[in-house]
Amino acid sequence: MIRWPYKIRNVFFVIVFFLLNGCENRTADEQKDTIDSGTIYISVDESFKPVIDSEIQVFEALHPGAKIIPTYKPEAECIKDFGVDSVRMVIITRRFTQQEENFIVDSFKLAPKSLELAKDAVAVIVNPSSTDTLFDMGQIYQILTGKFSKNLIPIFDGTRATSTVRFVIDSVLRGDTLTPKAMAAKSSEGVIDYVSKNPDAVGFIGVSWIGNHDDTTQLSFLKKVKMAWLESTDKPGSYVLPWQANIYYRRYPMLRDLVYILKEKKTGLGKGFANFLSGEQGQLIFRRAYLWPAQMNFNIRLTKLNE
- Regarding whether 64 and 85 lie in a shared domain, the answer is yes
Number of domains in the chain: 2
- Regarding whether 222 and 170 lie in a shared domain, the answer is yes
In this structure, is residue 303 part of a structural domain?
no
3-state helix, strand, coil in the chain (%, to 5): 40, 20, 35
| pLDDT on residue 22 | 45
3-state secondary structure of 289: coil
pLDDT at position 5 over 60:
no
- Regarding whether 70 and 217 lie in a shared domain, the answer is no
| pLDDT on residue 202 | 97
pLDDT at position 305 over 60:
no
- Regarding whether 243 and 127 lie in a shared domain, the answer is yes
- Regarding whether 243 and 134 lie in a shared domain, the answer is yes
What's the rounded Cα separation, in Å, for the pair 69 and 233?
Answer: 39
Most confident residue range from 2-6, 48-52, 159-163, 214-218:
48-52
- Regarding whether 138 and 60 lie in a shared domain, the answer is no
In this structure, is residue 82 part of a structural domain?
yes
- Regarding whether 248 and 158 lie in a shared domain, the answer is yes
| pLDDT on residue 26 | 41
- Regarding whether 124 and 101 lie in a shared domain, the answer is no
In this structure, is residue 26 part of a structural domain?
no
Q: Is the dihedral of CA 41, 45, 47, 52 positive or negative?
A: negative
In this structure, is residue 12 part of a structural domain?
no
pLDDT at position 303 over 90:
no
pLDDT at position 20 over 80:
no
| pLDDT on residue 79 | 94
What's the rounded Cα separation, in Å, for the pair 41 and 62?
Answer: 18
- Regarding whether 126 and 250 lie in a shared domain, the answer is yes
In this structure, is residue 195 part of a structural domain?
yes
What's the rounded Cα separation, in Å, for the pair 269 and 66?
Answer: 8
pLDDT at position 278 over 90:
yes
| pLDDT on residue 67 | 97
Q: Which amino acid is at 88?
A: R
| Final residue before a domain boundary, out of 235, 255, 275 | 255
- Regarding whether 111 and 231 lie in a shared domain, the answer is no
| pTM, full prediction | 0.83
Q: What mean pLDDT comes out for the span 34-51?
A: 95
Q: Are strands 113-126 and 153-156 parallel, antiparallel or unpaired?
A: unpaired
| pLDDT on residue 304 | 58
Structural domain harbouring 175: 120-255
Q: What is the chain's mean pLDDT, rounded?
A: 87
CATH number at residue 151: 3.40.190.10
| pLDDT on residue 301 | 62
- Regarding whether 75 and 55 lie in a shared domain, the answer is yes
CB count within 10 Å of CB 70 equals: 18
68-86 pLDDT per residue, tens: 999 999 999 999 999 999 9
114-131 pLDDT per residue, tens: 999 999 999 999 999 999
